[in-house]
Amino acid sequence: MGLMEHYLAHITLKSPAIIPRRRSARGYVGVKDSIPGSTLGGAVLSSLRRHNKIDTKEAEELVKSGGIISSPAFPREKNKLYYPSHPFIWKCKQPGCRRYVTTIEKVLNLLETGSELSRDIIPLACDEGHRSPEKQQKPLPASTLLHGGRTDKDMDECRELEFVESVRFVSVPVSRHRASAIVGALYYYEALPTGLEYWAIVSVRESIVSEGSYEIRIGRGVSKGFGKADLKFKKINLERLQNKLTQKSGNLVLYTLSPAVFRDEDKVIDLRSYMGSAGKHSAGLLRIKSVYGVSERVGGWDLMRNSQWRLDNASSPGSLVVAELEEGGEDCAYGLISLGLQGMSLDFGEARLVGLNMMLPAKIVLGDVLAS
């Protein structure tokens, strides 16, 4: 894999982008709250190839070796990062309330001490006494995920917080022989509107990219003008992350920023495996004990093999992973940071998937350290 460089990516849509929830016989239906990591990583790779930063052979080698890795891209607004919601946050359904309720601090204290969770961690009412909380799964600011309450947007505009207000398009194919519309052939697209902003963690092999702006095309329909975006890279300050991570051996709660999959053979993570990509000594073992999250199906298209891949029963971003850390100190901290910024590469049959299990200590994520 070689030495890796880690960037905080800032994506701004310059044209509507088709990031669909599903495909129908008549087009693409729904839009996602986040952009899949495989979609963003593929867009970066295509941009590098299109602008002759790398040739075809280098692109293939980057894909095979896991030389470019991306987390999903989550919403960003006014320099504020939004993170995937953890399983212990709810939103009041009472009209006009819009308060978020969370028990995450209590949950973290219990899990870090090895205690079991009980039913009283599920709130019966919001702070106003309304007994109508419902599970929240949309991305939210770190302060809301940690303390609840209302977001700035809720308070300023007094309306439901919605990141994704899709725009719809109708496409009519034209017959090459008659130069007129084909009867009955209407296709419908839902797309993310122009102007939306996202952030992601992108790790790339050393000397491939640098800080600055890039033009990418992301999602479906790029040949029709969809998915134009401006991408800005800023290097992540690894020293700042390390200074915030004074980790000792024992129980540790991690916060996932990408889909997580833990088969039996993946439940012991040797942090020494990141030594080659981090360029610094890394040590420690991470033994996965339990996962709290929402199950989801993830998938995509493997351009190298021209085939579809799909992964069932993955844990969604925002899941909490309880693990036991053996060893501690500075060497272990580098391994944990590399795990959070690169994730793991896992083999599923002939497919090798990268960017899974990207997870940082929960207090790093909820402390909004990445935004600082």
| 141 part of a folded domain | yes
Residue 332 or residue 150, greater confidence: 332
Question: For residue range 256-310, what is the model confidence (pLDDT) as tens digits?
Answer: 999 999 988 778 999 888 886 766 777 788 999 999 999 888 877 666 666 677 7
Is it the case that residue 53 has pLDDT exceeding 60?
Answer: yes
For the chain, the average pLDDT equals 86
Q: How far is the CA of 191 from the CAs of 259, 275, 313, in angstroms?
A: 23, 41, 27
- Residues 194, 74 share a domain: yes
Is it the case that residue 155 has pLDDT exceeding 80?
Answer: no
- Residues 97, 18 share a domain: no
| 205 part of a folded domain | yes
- Residues 136, 192 share a domain: no
| 50 part of a folded domain | yes
For residue 269, the domain's CATH number is 3.30.70
For residue 29, the domain's CATH number is 2.40.30
Show the domain range for 209: 4-78+182-236
- Residues 323, 219 share a domain: no
| 171 part of a folded domain | no
- Residues 29, 101 share a domain: no
Average pLDDT over residues 252-257: 96
First to last CA, the chain: 28
- Residues 342, 221 share a domain: no
Question: For residue range 93-136, what is the model confidence (pLDDT) as tens digits?
Answer: 888 888 899 999 999 999 999 898 988 888 888 888 888 788 88
- Dist. CA 365–CA 146, nearest whole Å: 10
CA 206 to chain centre: 22
| 177 part of a folded domain | no
Question: For residue range 156-177, what is the model confidence (pLDDT) as tens digits?
Answer: 443 344 445 788 888 787 877 7
- Residues 296, 266 share a domain: yes
- Residues 332, 259 share a domain: yes
User: What string of H, E and C letters represents the secondary structure of the chain?
Assistant: CCCEEEEEEEEEECCCEECEEEEECCEEEEECCCECHHHHHHHHHHHHHHCCCCCHHHHHHHHHHCCEEECCEEEEECCEEEECCCCCEEEECCCCCCCEEECHHHHHHHHHCCCCCCHHHCCCCCCCCCCCEEECCCCEEHHHHHHCECCHHHHHHCCCCCCCCCEEEEECCECCCCCCECCCCCEEEEEECCCCEEEEEEEEECCCCCCEEEEEECCECHHHCCCEEEEEEEECCHHHHHHHCCCCCEEEEEEECCCECCCHHHCEEEHHHHHHHHCCCCCCEEEEEEEECCEEEEEEEECCCCEEEEEEEEECCCCEEEEEEECCCHHHHHHHHHHHHHCEEEEECCEEEEEECCEEEHHHHHCCHHHC
| 168 part of a folded domain | no
| 10 part of a folded domain | yes
- Residues 256, 147 share a domain: no
Indicate the residue among 236, 258, 275 that finishes a domain. Answer: 236
| 167 part of a folded domain | no
Give the pTM.
0.89
pLDDT at 157: 41
Is it the case that residue 208 has pLDDT exceeding 50?
Answer: yes
> How many domains are contained in the chain?
3
- Residues 30, 152 share a domain: no
Closest C-alpha to 183, from 172, 195, 196 = 172
- Residues 273, 340 share a domain: yes
- Determine contact, residues 129/154, Cβ cutoff 8 Å: no
* Confidence label for 228 from pLDDT (cuts 50, 70 and 90): very high
- Residues 359, 278 share a domain: yes
